[in-house]
Structure 1
């Protein structure tokens, strides 16, 4: 019978007593939530809304939709772009953002954290 530790290792589970609160962890959490949300959609009109609660703009403009990474309710400087207003294009951009975040560390986002502390 495998131990809990062996099973956790086998399945890549990293346990933590407290949630990581660094910017990278927050961005990873949000990126994964956005991908889970958009994976439920069947057509681009489902991305439409009245507010920017997701990483994609609530409306398209001239056939393009803005995609902006955010955490803590605020946009991340330098991590925003326009893509075609299709589920495929928005999802692909979210996956690119996720890859960038995965390759980063908290130091990558130090400027963003400083900006946020200055505005408090």
Structure 2
């Protein structure tokens, strides 16, 4: 009798395959955007956006009813992809979805300047 396939086990245990080190910036950004959207699915209110670290694309605190959202990968913010939005789950989600669409439309060549900037630091 055959056991479950690896794919079935991965799905059963909710394992999300990580993007590999050799994947390009576009793939890394898409994986991160998807991870942010999955995290937001768990939240019920904007108070859950608050935190102590910047491990998510949204800032750990709101300022005057606004929340900063920054696309990041490899632990660094992507230059030029930081914006502010209303401090609501819907607004933060919408902003991340918009950033994801921008990333989806790009190619790895789009991110060449960002990759070069990261190498210089």
TM-score bucket (shorter structure): 0.7 to 0.9
Residue number in structure 2 paired with 1:99: 101
Q: Distance in 1 between matches of 2:41 and 2:115?
A: 30
TM-score of the pair, normalised by structure 1: 0.83
> What SS does the aligned partner of 1:65 have?
strand
Q: Distance in 2 between matches of 1:105 and 1:24?
A: 6
Residue number in structure 2 paired with 1:61: 63
Q: Distance in 2 between matches of 1:21 and 1:57?
A: 26
> What SS does the aligned partner of 1:91 have?
helix
Q: Where has structure 1 moved over 6 Å in runs of 4 or more?
A: none
Q: Distance in 2 between matches of 1:40 and 1:104?
A: 28
Residue number in structure 1 paired with 2:45: 43
Q: Give me the CA root mean square deviation.
A: 1.1
Q: How many residues align?
A: 102
Structure 2: runs of 5+ lacking an equivalent: 1-18
TM-score of the pair, normalised by structure 2: 0.82
Structure 1: runs of 5+ lacking an equivalent: 1-17
